[in-house]
């Protein structure tokens, strides 16, 4: 049997396909299409609704930068909330901080957690068994609107703004996040490929600037997210949190027992906020607009319509009876 090529369908004008030497799991859950497969270069790959979410080759980049940048900026974070991130990678990194007393994961799709534990348990590690962790299966938007809990740090580990994750990129959601933060707390979310989709970063930055005293996008290099620099975004009311020097950050890492990382370092932490000129101009304009009252969030464009199947003599027709008897094909 020849290998299957699985295509990313998120991008309207270009495509990336990954070779699946073996499809390990594929299912249409209540919320999304999920597929896990082996790739000779990337290791195990998770795709949701046609978008690569992680690979075992480079997942450490995203998870370390999502967790350690906000947590190292805080003097002693004790209560942390992760919205999304059912693969457990961010929770794994959060729980490396000995000062964290409670880490809550809110995930809409139990299937994401179960498949992580079955097919790539090295990503969550022991995060879900840690006595400090709590898993809540519910809609993140609903949880944030109703919770009376307060957190030092909220990390929104969402997928792209399509499907069930679209609501996690709205002003309504971020407003509820702000309410759930303790004084001087930090909110972090992901903003996708900065150069290809600057409107995504600009929209979130406008909202952050309208809600918080400081909006501070930062970047990392995530190889499996094809298309250049990957953007994350940080918001806080404590303007001094990002003034820590490398010595202070290194001391915090040692004191908390955070070691053995593959990407985050104190220098990388500080340098991640240094943006290229073109991106800096996008961010500055968005901050100015947000402070002036323009709090428009990002609305993803509609997904492209699938191409119509070819017809004509070159395409063999199959009778209704034969179609009924044929085995069902896996959804792409």
- For this structure, is 157 an active site residue? yes
Find the catalytic residue in 49, 87, 109, 157: 157
**Which residues, 6 or more positions from 260, have their beta carbon under 8 angstroms from its beta carbon?**
none
71: closest CA among 276, 258, 299?
258
Residue with tokens 């009876």: 321
The SS3 assignment for 232 reads strand
Specify the length of the chain in residues. Answer: 332
Taking the C-alpha atoms of residue 34 and residue 111, their distance in angstroms, rounded to an integer, is 9
Angle between helices 171-179 and 198-211 (to 10 degrees): 40
Angle between helices 246-256 and 59-73 (to 10 degrees): 100
Taking the C-alpha atoms of residue 93 and residue 88, their distance in angstroms, rounded to an integer, is 9
| Chain centroid, CA 207 distance in Å | 18
For CA atoms 295, 286, 13, 21, give the dihedral sign.
Answer: negative
187: closest CA among 73, 64, 101, 63?
73
DSSP-assigned letters across all residues of 87-104: TSHHHHHHTT-TT--EEE
Neighbours of 15 (CB within 10 A): 12
Taking the C-alpha atoms of residue 221 and residue 205, their distance in angstroms, rounded to an integer, is 20
Radius of gyration of the chain measured on its C-alpha atoms: 21
- Catalytically active residues are 157
């Amino acid at each position: 049997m020849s290998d299957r090529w699985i295509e990313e369908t998120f991008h309207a004008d270009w495509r990336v396909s990954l070779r699946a030497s073996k499809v390990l799991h594929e299912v249409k859950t209540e919320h999304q299409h999920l597929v896990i497969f082996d790739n000779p270069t990337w290791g195990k790959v998770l795709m949701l609704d046609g978008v690569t979410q992680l690979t075992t080759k480079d997942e450490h980049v995203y998870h370390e930068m999502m967790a350690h940048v906000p947590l190292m900026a805080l003097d002693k974070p004790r209560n942390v909330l992760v919205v999304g991130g059912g693969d457990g990678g961010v929770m794994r990194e959060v729980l490396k901080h000995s000062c964290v007393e409670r880490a809550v994961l809110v995930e809409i799709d139990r299937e994401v957690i179960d498949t992580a534990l079955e097919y790539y348990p090295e990503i969550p590690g022991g995060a879900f068994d840690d006595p400090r962790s709590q898993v809540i299966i519910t809609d993140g938007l609903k949880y944030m609107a109703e919770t009376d809990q307060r957190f030092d740090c909220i990390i929104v580990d969402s997928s792209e703004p399509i499907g069930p994750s679209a609501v996690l990129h709205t002003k309504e959601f971020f407003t509820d996040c702000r309410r759930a933060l303790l004084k001087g707390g930090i909110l972090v979310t992901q903003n996708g490929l900065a150069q290809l989709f600057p409107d995504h970063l600009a929209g979130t930055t406008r909202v952050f600037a309208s809600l918080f005293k400081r909006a501070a996008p930062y970047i990392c290099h995530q190889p499996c997210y094809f298309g250049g620099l990957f953007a994350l975004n940080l918001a806080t009311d404590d303007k001094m949190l990002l003034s820590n020097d490398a010595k202070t950050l290194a001391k915090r890492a040692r004191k908390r027992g955070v070691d053995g990382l593959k990407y985050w370092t104190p220098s990388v932490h500080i340098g991640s906020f240094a943006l290229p000129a073109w991106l800096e101009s996008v961010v500055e304009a968005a901050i100015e607009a947000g402070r002036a009252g323009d709090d428009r969030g990002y609305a993803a464009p509609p997904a492209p319509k699938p191409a119509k199947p070819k017809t004509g003599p070159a395409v063999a027709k199959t009778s209704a009876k034969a179609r009924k008897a044929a085995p069902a094909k896996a959804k792409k």
